[in-house]
A and B are shown apart, each in its own frame.
Chain A
Amino acid sequence: MLRELAERATSHPRVRVLTGCTIGSSHGTVGNFETTVAGPDGEHTISHGVTVIATGLQEWKPAAYGVGEDARVITLSEFEARLTPVVAPVEVPASVVMLLCAGPWDRMPFYCSRTCCAQSMAAALAFKRAHPEVPVTVIAREIRTYGTSEVLFTQARQAGVVVFRHSPDEPPQVTRTPEAVRVTLRDQALGEEITLDAGLMVVAPAQVPSEGACGLTEIFKVPASADGFFLEAHVKLRPADFASEGLFLCGGAHYPKLLDEAIAQSLASAARASTLLWRDSLEVGGVVTQVDRDRCTTCLTCLRVCAYDAISFDGDGIAVVEPTRCQGCGLCVSVCPGSALSLGHYSRDQMIAKIEALLGEMEGARVG
């Protein structure tokens, strides 16, 4: 399905797919963005109406416990790849131990990356069904197979997958010798130390934002959480939008999601984007600078502070603001020595009325 979809996207006459590129800069506003993209075949400047950020996730690297150093220790995504029939069959291990919540421990308290429990259970179940004779053990702080993925947990348990829980303060200890990969943990239910020898150890480290995604917060001026995940405009009311107009997000760039969740959000994001793209023209917001021609003294102060090149001077030497360029920051208004400028919806009178009303009300409450 995925291959067919990729094929359709890459061969579509109106879809351009650029891979292996880095975004240089982006400016403009909704309906009129311009982004420069540097790729293997040179630099492109793309004019676009909307921006959707879908940078996805990656497994945290370097994963602990000897991933990459030892062939017997692999990550969950590598394990999943081995389960697909397309990949050439590999040697069946004598036992499988899956270690969830596998760090980064040094950055604890770390967020729960949400998807690994269900993914691990699905992988454990698939493996167990293919090789019922091989013991499969899952070690986790807590199993969170939320929603219908709880069924996977039940099925995995029924198929014979054993689950151990350990305390967050006592991460399992792993020692690697030429003979075995040995995992020692204190099980929470038994309160006793358990030692397991793993023929194959599968480590599920946290899902973190893709490399390079953090740079996008500055380029597109969109907010991200301290962990590097992009933040939507409103958790419930605008879950696929950024606060800035014309920018949308979906998938793992937002937070770790299972495939169906990511698809649902992508569809939402595409639908939101098309509400803008189907229009022939967009209305400009009222928050732009207006000029009182009688007060302008051609001092050029506004021209100097404007970061958007929105101000020019006409034949009479009077400031003229280009409303589609003006972003409505109000910087020019606050520096204008002649008070010739005012910002729509934030005029001086409105602001002062607001401040006085706010404090006047307090005064009333205090005295009364």
Chain B
Amino acid sequence: MSADLTVAPAQSEASKASVEIVAFCCFYCAYAAADLAGVMRLPYPPNVKVVLLPCTGGIDAIYILRAFEAGADGVFVAGCLEGQCHYQAGNYHAKARVRYLKERLDEAGIGGARLEMFNLSSAQGPRFAEIAREMTERITALGPTPLRRAKIGDAP
């Protein structure tokens, strides 16, 4: 019993502190911005894990859904600024796909708020760090994804 008491708060504390966020970043802008954030030694929460894509337009719905399925608490897609896509209009396709998936996530009870699309240029290292913070705050407030809550037995 006493063991449970010591474990339980630690576990919920851990789940609060370690929401996991997957960032799908395009090679030309967001990934370069993330790189720049690193070069500039800007601190941002370690909860964000970056997955590289050539272009956000190439993001398959299944990638985002599989990330949630595998236990991600939040996902964001980061592409070039609108009108400045290296591949001309890939980020608009990504925007439409993210919008569509937000609705599907709402329907599934996971919550569309856990998914977001951002646009930034390769020179915006500070903006990447800001997005990482923004998203981590948002997801921390939402708590662990229902899928993971069930998995780690945190669910009520």
Shortest Cβ distance from residue A89 to the other chain B in the assembled complex, whole angstroms:
46
In chain B, positions 93-112 with a C-beta closer than 8 Å to chain A are 93, 97
B residues 70-113 with Cβ under 8 Å of A?
70-72, 84, 86-90, 93, 97
Beta-carbon contact of B123 and A307 below 8 Å = no
CB distance from A222 to the nearest CB of B (A): 9
Q: With A330-B55, A343-B58 in contact, is A360–B70 under 8 Å at CB?
A: yes
* Known pairs A243-B32, A348-B62, A359-B71; A224 contacts B57 (CB<8 A): no
For A235, list chain B residues within 8 Å (CB): 39
A198: shortest Cβ distance to chain B, in Å? 39
Q: Encode A214-225 as 1/0 by CB contact (under 8 A) with B.
A: 000110010111
Is B4 an interface position by the 8 A CB rule? Answer: no
For the complex, give the distance between the alpha carbons of A225 and B39 in Å: 14
Would A355 and B63 be within 8 Å (CB), given that A331-B55, A346-B54, A362-B20 are in contact? yes
B114 nearest CB across to chain A (Å): 14
Is B131's CB within 8 Å of the partner chain A? no
A38 at the interface (CB under 8 A from B): no
CB pair A330–B28 under 8 Å, yes or no, is: no
Majority DSSP secondary structure for residues of A touching B: helix
CA distance A108 to B50 in the complex (A): 34
CB pair A362 B49 closer than 8 Å: yes
Which chain B positions have C-beta within 8 A of A355? 22, 51, 63, 66-67, 70
**Neighbouring A residues of B54 by C-beta, 8 Å:** 287, 328-330, 343, 346
Residues of A within 8 A of B15 (CB): 366
Cross-chain contact of A329 among B39, B71, B90 (Cβ < 8 A): B90
A227 closest partner in B (C-beta): B123
At the interface, yes or no: A2 with Cβ under 8 Å from chain B?
no
Complex: A224 Cα to B123 Cα, angstroms: 6
Is A162 at the interface (CB under 8 A from chain B)? no
From B39, B55, B58, B66, give the contact of A352 (CB < 8 A). B66
Is A218 a contact partner of B49 (Cβ separation < 8 A)?
A: no
Q: Which residues of A contact B119 (CB under 8 A)?
A: none
Provided the pairs A327-B87, A333-B58, A362-B49 are in contact, do residues A223 and B123 lie with their beta carbons within 8 angstroms?
yes
Q: How long is the Cα–Cα vector from A169 to B65 in the complex, in angstroms?
A: 53
Q: Are A331 and B93 in contact (CB under 8 A)?
A: yes
The answer to whether A223 and B22 touch (CB under 8 A), given A307-B88, A334-B59, A360-B70, is no
Determine the distance from Cα of A329 to Cα of B51 in the docked complex, in whole angstroms.
15
Name B93's closest neighbour in chain A (CB-CB). A331
A226 close to B93 (CB less than 8 A): no
B152 at the interface (CB under 8 A from A): yes
B53 interfacial contact with A, CB 8 Å = yes
Give A360 to B22 CA distance when docked, in angstroms.
12
Q: Is the CB of A351 within 8 A of B55?
A: no
B141 beta carbon closer than 8 Å to chain A: no
- Asked if A367 is at the interface of the complex by the 8 Å CB criterion, the answer is yes
Is B136 interfacial (CB-CB < 8 Å)? no
If A333-B58, A355-B70 touch, does A346 touch B87 (CB 8 Å cutoff)? no
Partner of B72, one of A221, A335, A346, A359: A359
Are B152 and A354 in touch, CB under 8 angstroms?
Answer: no
A333 to chain B: which residues have CB within 8 Å?
58, 60
On whether the beta carbons of A330 and B53 are closer than 8 Å, the reply is: yes
> B87 is contacted by which of A226, A231, A329 (Cβ under 8 Å)?
A329
Contacts of B20 in A (CB 8 A): 359, 362
Known contacts A231-B123, A352-B62; is-contact A358 B55 (Cβ 8 Å) = no
Measured CA separation A346–B56 after assembly (Å): 12
Asked if B70 and A359 sit within 8 Å, CB to CB, the answer is yes
Q: How far is the CA of A360 from the CA of B71 in the complex (A)?
A: 8
Q: A363 an interface residue at 8 Å Cβ cutoff?
A: yes
A/B interface sample: 17 pairs, CB < 8 A = A223-B29, A223-B121, A305-B93, A330-B55, A331-B55, A331-B58, A333-B60, A334-B58, A346-B58, A348-B60, A352-B62, A354-B51, A355-B63, A355-B67, A356-B66, A358-B49, A362-B18
Seen from chain A, the residues whose Cβ lies within 8 Å of a Cβ on chain B are 217-218, 221, 223-226, 231, 235, 243-244, 287, 305, 307, 327-331, 333-335, 343, 346, 348, 351-352, 354-356, 358-360, 362-363, 366-367
Residues of chain B touching chain A, judged by Cβ–Cβ distance below 8 Å, are 14-15, 18, 20, 22, 28-29, 32, 39, 49, 51, 53-55, 57-63, 66-67, 70-72, 84, 86-90, 93, 97, 121-123, 151-152
